[in-house]
Structure 1
Amino acid sequence: MDSFNDTTSTTALLASRRSGKAREMVAPGPDASQLQAILAAAARVPDHGKLNPWRFVVIDNRAAFADALMAIYLAGKPDAGRLEREAVTQFATQAPCLVVVIASPKPSHIPAWEQELSVGAACQNLVLAAHAHGFVANWLTGWAAFDDQVLALLGGVAPERIAGFFFIGSQGKPLEERPRPDLAAITSHWRG
């Protein structure tokens, strides 16, 4: 059986994906070729109209990103205490790799909702591809995902939005399974 049709390992991969906590990730993270492959897989999603309503920003200089994020945070909250400042720095520098996914809707006859769903699919493919390469990923938002200045820092302009910050690395602690929904409670059948 060729790998394209290997549903057993694909199903096992999907069933075993779990988020790792970004603050617990350790090196190694993906190297340049692995990250390229992860991003290529993230871009292989349903995309009605071939609009690419998403883009990826790889944060290479984490220290500079932490400084810029801190400046934005302090501009809005100049009286921030030590713990808040540490949290901003930790957010920007945790995990070996950071990719920001920008939702970038295009003017089109394709509804915005369909474009947003494609963005979500790209995000999910990103975490699945990281998992397939032997890494853990953590999709986070927080205040920075909703801040216009952070969006501008990353080269974004409205109506673009930050879909999330994707931290990728190796697990530093064993992953814990979280409760999953009862399928019977969230599944129905329509029979006409």
Structure 2
Amino acid sequence: MPDKNTAALDFLASRLSQPAKMFRPPVPSHEELAAMLHLALRVPDHGKLEPWRLIVLERADFTRLADLAEARGREMGADAEKLDKGRGQFDRGHLAVAVISAPKASDKIPVEEQVLSAGALCMSLLMVATASGWGANWLSGWPAHDAEFCARAFGCKDGETVAGIIHIGTSAHEFPDRPRPDPARVVQWGLGPA
């Protein structure tokens, strides 16, 4: 029987996302964040393709991103609620890492698997930040799915998308866990009769 890592299992059983809008300073130092990124990058990278890139966003970056989101929303004819949501995460942000899915040309690794690798990197960073004692939240929002915003904000080229924006900071409150999926409802054991 394999040896269990009880501490890791306990962490996974208690991990929950905390609202990024509630984060406040302090945030990790450059050295602390660099150490977290070093660990988070230990994800499947499909033959060393590294089909992603990271952009560390600090407080000054958020003002620019908020203004870009508002301008883009106005160009799109967005209503007040959409404009507020577009600005929101950037107006309140202190530190985040934008994970850009950047698939590479490959005869062996399908684009879909490369995109999943970027998602795995988002989850890995979320776990590493939380395990390091910080509040962490994986957000996207409409700006992250708008190609024009992503090109202006993050320099995304054709085929690149924002997999997630991982906000990291000090959590102001303790939050209760939310209801979790019932495995009996979402897990199928086997394929059934042929």
Superposition TM-score, scaled by structure 1 size:
0.86
2:30 to 32, 40, 55: 32
5+ residue gaps, structure 2? none
Q: CA deviation at 1:160?
A: 0.6
Q: CA deviation at 1:171?
A: 1.3
Structure-2 residue corresponding to 1:178: 178
Structure-2 residue corresponding to 1:142: 141
Summarize deviations over 1:112-159 as a string: whole Å, max 9, x none: 222122111101001001101111111112110111122112011110
Q: 1:28 to 1:6 in 2, by over 3 A?
A: farther
| C-alpha separation in 1, matches of 2:37 and 2:20 | 19
Root mean square deviation of aligned Cα: 2.2
Q: 1:52 to 1:75 in 2, by over 3 A?
A: same
SS in 1 for 2:170: strand
Q: CA deviation at 1:70?
A: 2.0
| C-alpha separation in 1, matches of 2:46 and 2:101 | 15
| C-alpha separation in 1, matches of 2:22 and 2:137 | 10
Q: 1:33 to 1:142 in 2, by over 3 A?
A: same
Q: CA deviation at 1:166?
A: 1.5
| C-alpha separation in 2, matches of 1:190 and 1:143 | 37
The letter of the residue matching 2:121 is A
Summarize deviations over 1:16-39 as a string: whole Å, max 9, x none: 211011111122221111111222
| C-alpha separation in 2, matches of 1:183 and 1:177 | 17
| C-alpha separation in 1, matches of 2:92 and 2:21 | 5
Q: 1:6 to 1:68 in 2, by over 3 A?
A: same
Question: Which ranges of 4 or more aligned residues in structure 1 deviate by more than 6 Å?
Answer: none
Identity of aligned residues (%): 37
Summarize deviations over 1:75-110 as a string: whole Å, max 9, x none: 222x744x5544433221324212111111111021
Q: 1:191 to 1:64 in 2, by over 3 A?
A: closer
Q: CA deviation at 1:184?
A: 2.9
Superposition TM-score, scaled by structure 2 size:
0.85
Matches within 5 A, 1:112-123: 112-123=111-122
Is the 1:18–1:136 Cα contact (8 Å) retained in structure 2?
Answer: no
SS in 1 for 2:115: helix
Structure-1 residue corresponding to 2:160: 160
Structure-1 residue corresponding to 2:103: 105
Matches within 5 A, 1:1-192: 7-60=5-58, 61=60, 62-77=62-77, 80-81=79-80, 84-108=82-106, 109-153=108-152, 154-190=154-190
| C-alpha separation in 2, matches of 1:125 and 1:131 | 10
| C-alpha separation in 1, matches of 2:188 and 2:6 | 26
